[in-house]
Structure 1
Amino acid sequence: MADEKVVRFGILGCAAIARKLVRAIAISPTSSVYAVASRSIDKAKAFASANNLPPEVKTYGSYEQLLDDPCVDALYIPLPTSLHLEWALKAAYKRKHILLEKPPALCVEDLDIIIEACNNNGVQFMDGTMWMHHPRTPQMKAFLQNPDLFGDLKLVQSTFSYAGSDKFFEEDIRVKPDLDALGALGDVGWYCIRAILWANDYEMPQSVIAHPRPVLNEGGVVTCCGATFSWQDGRVATFNCSFHSPMTMDLSFLGSKGNMRLHDFVIPYEENTASFFSSANTGKHKEISSGWGPRSSEHIVTTKFPQETMMVQEFGKLVKGIQDSGGKPDSLWPSISRKTQILLNAVNESIQEGLVSVTL
């Protein structure tokens, strides 16, 4: 008999990122992997074996079979972005709650269709931006919102890059226009844009303009780019994302009184410990010719579970609230996804139209 106390996940697709979520679900005391589906039964079974899933986990040779299983409460969908609209809609119509890999769609119009289907069918939607669920994140926000220590936000700068191999640029789905047409912008740029929105309390900028010399492959897929966002009150944010540079996950914030930075904002260096650095009252410094201060303070945050498990638990709590109490889906997470998608597509529009400024 299925355990009614946990959220029973179905894994729709056997992408590499799915290994991380399978482990996260297994670690969580409030969820379980109930079934895995691939386009072939052999691939589904191989995935279950490689990830040491217990024998009672069901394996299916088609996505439709998993969707038809009445015991599956929720789906984790790590399929290529071009397939998200089709399978997220089918999942919503089957009333399966959806944890969807980012970017959730190729355009905001597609994402609106997915969100509407989820709302109409009482389905919780959340995208897979894991760092949002780390306990470090609310502690950083507390510093940003402290008027005495940080002051008013002036600037956000974010970078996420990694160096793809020759094989990556030849075979990976993230450089294929028919599978993940948003490329580096959708993959690593998504995190940078989300961080900018998060720091600005999800207030949308007035304008977006891509930086000069973006890199596109022969299929027209962006493999390196950057952009600047501007707000009417003078706030500015910039980001850079790339498949061509060494692993970098930098995030920094400048306020009128202080600053904050970290170098591992997407994936912490360590699974159970993460930190960030802050400086307050930075106007009080020593003579710059001989050094400057005060030194930044390191804030260390520990967590019992890795951030992906914290995401699964947050998602599961919302799912159980709907199942057990007849609640409605939480609209916060879809709205955050939608704003991130709008900015991502605005950057892409600026690139495609010759680096024009896009007004929102």
Structure 2
Amino acid sequence: MYNTAYHPVQLSTHSFLVTGGGGFIGSNLVEYLLKYGAGKVRVLDNFITGHRRNLSEFMGNPAFELLEGDIRNLEDCKAAVKGIDYVLHQAALGSVPRSINDPITTNDINVSGFLNMLVATRDENCKRFVYAASSSTYGDHSGLPKVEDQIGKPLSPYAVTKYVNELYADVFGKTYNMSLIGLRYFNVFGQRQDPNGAYAAVIPKFVSQFIRYESPVINGDGAFSRDFTYIDNVVQANIKALFVPDAAAIGQVYNVAFGEQTSLTQLTEAIKDELVAFDEKVGDISVIYGTNRIGDIPHSLASIEKARTLLAYQPAYSFKEGLNEAVAWYWHNLK
């Protein structure tokens, strides 16, 4: 992973905080930073959804530091940013269905926790704060592809929290002269993404079910579509956002995706095709179609022109290329 370096500076002279570093995206950012010799990489995580196993290979690295804490606690946030140059804020309680079932906890973590991190970062005078935004912010806006300055009304408590993050970041950037960039992720997948639990993402969940010869359940008729985005592309966007020098790029929110639409039916067929290379019997497994989920956006497709122009973002992996890498990783790690 990450055979291509996306940073334009020497990382050894800088220190980084990755909140939610025990999670899927966070741990991949940690891996990249350590691989390329970051001076210090500190992780803040309470492991509600992240896993210590995602960080186990980094524990012996002298540049790595784990701080177990909660972004809902301002003092934990202040301790985490102490002496840090750059903040990659990935900590959040994801999942639209989970936010519908428990909106209070989702708000506490995603809004109050986010505000705590902004305040701590401001007080420490960190150089830049790059945060995970979400494509759920587009809500009921039906236009495709999704363009950053055209959003609708949120369709879930989760979407509300991620939009509030953008509003707070905009206010803090202007009021306190902070350097902030938001990245609206579109259905990220790849290594270390958890296939287990009620709120597991669709790709690892379906892969693990196929491996066990179980029939995945698609919510709806399979026509809903997503812009599935491989983890390497997301890491690239984060690293480029950390170091982009152009003042016009700061204080902005960007779509992070590949820019390709895949229906859920196409997704399941693609997963089966990849897995058949490892186990021919997977090809005989059928798919079950269920009911639509409350709060789901029917279709999602990103315009990535803004990120291409201002961040020099060039996604290295298409959906198919990323799925090939991901399924191989899942096969060897889920068996």
State the TM-score, normalized to the length of structure 1.
0.40
- Pick the structure with greater CA Rg: 1
Normalized per residue, the structure richer in helix is: 2
